[in-house]
Structure 1
């Protein structure tokens, strides 16, 4: 069963562009990973909040993504760019 993830990212007010660019910089590599079915970045129309919608074959594929050097580098940058930790919601499709 595939695993869907909804990630909410809260950049500091002056860090939106840098936080956005950190994700945009890994889109092609992430989408090429084994097990990645969907990986799309969104910006909330009412705020400077970013959202990722992700679908992975399974939890192992998602965990492997987070083990990649480029993903770890984004989270290291986020230590200085975000107002709060990334919120992850894990879901399984029902229909």
Structure 2
């Protein structure tokens, strides 16, 4: 997992051409409630970058904060392509 996290964070550094700040949250299944979550829950990690770009800090709008649903001005397809390019540059391919 350490190798994957290192690649993920250095890919963000490569994408934004700087040591990119981020908040990282780790989500595990609820515990001690008597329910077996093995079939429905997967451990996962999410990154929440506080920047839109190297020069622009991201500020949540009231609707994003109130609904706990951040908006992204970049389409998922465009960002996936950008991340893919940065990842391969990062690992030297």
* TM-score relative to the length of structure 1: 0.31
User: Which structure ranks higher in relative contact order (CA pairs < 8 Å, sequence separation ≥ 6)?
Assistant: 1
Query: Which has the larger Rg?
Result: 2
* TM-score relative to the length of structure 2: 0.31
